[in-house]
Amino acid sequence: MKSLAILSHKGGVGKTILAVNLAIHLAAEGKNICLIDSDFHGPSILTFFTPKSEIHWINSFLTGESSLEECLQDLSNDLALSGKLLVAFADPTPESIQNVIRLDQNTSMKMLHYLMKMKSMLREEPYSIDYLILDCSPGTGFSTINVMVITEIILFMVKVTNADIIGTSHMIEGLHKQLKSRTKIIANQIPSDFLNDQTKKEHFQKLIENLLKKDLGDKTVDFMGWIPNDLDLYKTEFETAIKTLEGNPTRRMIHTLDKPDHIISKIIKELANNLFGDNN
């Protein structure tokens, strides 16, 4: 089993969209996937799916109140995926989010204990998971550090604005000790015309790599590429939101599921190969 944590400095950069799209793509390829919402401050994986039964939040597994089995929903049949897609949702109620904000060291240790248990359970029958994907909260809270501890691959997502790119550079420096030997970084919401200009692209990639590679010593940061800004996405998401407000059952658009030929789907497939391919 390989495990991936998706991190960022700021919120709203596209972590959840990436996590969901990667998970769906890999499950459609016949791989067994476990997708965990570990953004306890802003749970949102739920908005992409129609959960089956009553939900046991993953929070309750991490505090020892529920079993892992209770917290995992198998959505592969509903979505006609050939591999397994097990999803665990985080509790979005204000009380639960308050609990996570106030998380003390001891509770955080308990969480880490259960995360490690979860990881070893997912490797074995009946789960036999190939890829574990964890969608984290932005920043460096206890819960995100815990997820970093248990995952092999750490992928930072940046939006190329000054606040985020400079912040990400500080974040990576600050987490130096926690980082694995290789850290990955991907840029999201890049204007499409920029991506069509090879010279500009190469120039900018160098600038980013210079910014992020400094002072990392023995550890390296790999730049994994760019995801273009999808101008239609905002409109689609707006329309979905209206439907939800009207009381209709909805789920948000997932590129790799709903638009497999879209440029974003193609880029995500390529990313999956680069992250999890045999050389990695």
Partner 1 sequence: MIAYAVYVISMDGRPLVSETFQSAETIPNEMLLAGLMTALQGVATELSQGKSGLKSIKIDNLSYHFKSFGQYQIVLVTDLPETPENVLHRLGIQFMKDFGEQLIKDSLDLNTFQPFSDTINEIVREELTIDNSKMIIPTKKFSSGELYQLPSHLQPTALAMIALKEGNVEEIASESEKSIEDTVDNLESLQDMGLIGKKVTNDHVSYFCSF
Ligand X SMILES: Nc1ncnc2c1ncn2[C@@H]1O[C@H](COP(=O)(O)OP(=O)(O)O)[C@@H](O)[C@H]1O
- By C-beta, is 50 or 178 nearer to partner 1? 178
The CB-of-248 to partner 1 minimum distance in angstroms stands at: 42
- By C-beta, is 119 or 201 nearer to partner 1? 119
Q: Which residues contact 243 (CB under 8 A, 6 or more apart)?
A: 250
As a residue count, the chain comes to 280
Contact flags string 18-47 toward ligand X, x per CB under 6 A? --------------------------x---
User: What whole-number distance in Å separates Cα of residue 183 and Cα of residue 275?
Assistant: 11
The one of ligand X, Mg ion, partner 1, none whose footprint includes residue 29, by CB under 5 to 8 A per kind, is: none
User: Looking at the DSSP assignment, which residues form a beta bridge with residue 86?
Assistant: 34, 74
Judged by CB under 5 A, the residue of 4, 6, 8, 16 near Mg ion is: 16
User: What whole-number distance in Å separates Cα of residue 104 and Cα of residue 111?
Assistant: 11
Contact flags string 235-264 toward ligand X, x per CB under 6 A? --x---------------------------
How many chain residues touch Mg ion (CB under 5 A)?
4
Under the criterion CB under 5 A, does residue 21 sit at the interface with Mg ion? no
The one of partner 1, ligand X, Mg ion, none whose footprint includes residue 113, by CB under 5 to 8 A per kind, is: partner 1
Q: What tokens appear for 94 in the block?
A: 């204000």
Give Cα separations from 162 to 159, 168, 202 (angstroms).
9, 10, 19
Span of 64-72, 88-96, 144-152, 265-273 interacting with partner 1 by CB under 8 A: 144-152
Under rule CB under 8 A, which residues in 161-190 are in contact with partner 1? 177-178
Give 201-235 as a 3 state SS string.
Answer: HHHHHHHHHHHHHCCCCCCEEEEEEEEECCHHHHH
Under the criterion CB under 5 A, does residue 188 sit at the interface with Mg ion? no
**Residues at the contact surface with partner 1, assessed by CB under 8 A:** 105-106, 108-110, 112-113, 116-117, 120, 142, 145-146, 149, 177-178
Interface positions with ligand X (CB under 6 A): 8, 11-17, 44, 188-189, 227, 229-230, 233-234, 237
